[in-house]
Amino acid sequence: MSEIKVPFVSFRPLEKEIGDELRAAFDRVLNNSWYIKGKEDEAFEKAFAGYCGRKHCVGVGSGLDALMLPLKALGIGEGDEVILPANTFIATALAVTYTGAKPVLVDADLRTYNMDPAKIEEAVTERTKAVMPVHLYGQPCDMGPITEIAKKHGLYVIEDCAQAHGAKYKGQVIGSFGDAAGFSFYPGKNLGALGDAGATVTDSDELAKKVASLANYGSDYKYHHVYQGNNSRLDEMQAAFLSVKLKGLDKVNEDRRRIAGRYLAGISNPLITLPYVPAYAEPVWHIFAVRCEKRDELEKYLEECGVGCNKHYPIPVHLQECYKDLGYGKGDFPVAEEVAKTELSLPLYYGMTDEEIEYVVEKVNGFK
């Protein structure tokens, strides 16, 4: 096979297909001359709430705010604790610390890389207010036991859905399990804007109203401020782009499954641990995470072969410098540390060609 280059991610194939629709959406907004909180926003919120099987969707400025604002709206703050996994993107923890509450970490399951439900209960104290399952890499968490534990201890469940738009747990779409869920539309996510954006979904009228208010300077009507809110609104331009892309989300996820299926069937190198898919899960493959004891060598080798890779994430939350005050240390979350040391993410994006997929498979199998 001749040498080619396969980037870690490319937006090109999708943008080629929907470029005209995106340009039409841009023109529509420009012709309207209305840029914040308008009908594009409303239309997307309605469509995305429907997609998630929820009553409300509140568009906000980022995935971070989509997680932080519902926590704040539920009254979580100083003196409270929120349980989340040690192996997640830093935003999950930041969403908690921005409210003044304390993140309490739990370790992952080494097979699914998701929060281990068995470890949640021992982290619960009388200060615990909520648990935040993260559907990491596009794999749904084991929501059955998580919901049960939360119910037993009277905890809110806020799902971090930033990597898993459309993934299903036992046939039910994620984002529809908790009291609220936060989505990111960062460009690289399965549903990505052409800039920063996010959304909170919920069935609660009261919570939706409060999140929307907190995202808009804490006001209920113009120049009347009930809360000391933020400025975190989904603008009309991004909402219009997102409406175009939401229509194609299932197709995008289907294509991601096709690529992941080829990797799962084709990669047979004994040095590589492939992702595991539990019977309850319908993942959407935001990340195709493999593990390898010689991860850094594998990464270097693949880069030399022209295959772009990434690590998600090289430093777990408990070992991040910004969180040294939490008092955690090395060895506290062995699974998260193992994943940080051995995980490598292979290229996976909508429209990857057969040649590109086969090239990655061949190179990964050729690693010694």
Binding site for ligand PLP (CB under 6 A): 62-64, 88-89, 91-92, 134, 160, 162-163, 184, 186, 196, 198
**Closest residue by Cα to residue 165 from 206, 194, 193, 203:** 193
User: Closest distance between ligand PLP and the C-beta of residue 313, in Å?
Assistant: 9
Q: Which is nearer to ligand PLP, 137 or 359 (CB)?
A: 137
Q: Which is nearer to ligand PLP, 112 or 184 (CB)?
A: 184
User: Closest distance between ligand PLP and the C-beta of residue 85, in Å?
Assistant: 9
Q: Which is nearer to ligand PLP, 52 or 134 (CB)?
A: 134
**Closest residue by Cα to residue 62 from 198, 226, 160, 191:** 198
**Closest residue by Cα to residue 331 from 313, 318, 344:** 318
User: Closest distance between ligand PLP and the C-beta of residue 282, in Å?
Assistant: 18
**For strand 198-202 and strand 128-131, is the pairing parallel, antiparallel, or unpaired?**
unpaired
Q: Which is nearer to ligand PLP, 262 or 311 (CB)?
A: 311
Residue whose CB is nearest to ligand PLP in the complex, by number: 63
**Closest residue by Cα to residue 3 from 268, 345, 360:** 360
User: Closest distance between ligand PLP and the C-beta of residue 126, in Å?
Assistant: 27
Q: Which is nearer to ligand PLP, 91 or 101 (CB)?
A: 91
Supply angle C-alpha 99, 105, 107, rounded to 5.
150
User: Closest distance between ligand PLP and the C-beta of residue 67, in Å?
Assistant: 6
Q: Which is nearer to ligand PLP, 134 or 150 (CB)?
A: 134
Q: Which is nearer to ligand PLP, 158 or 212 (CB)?
A: 158
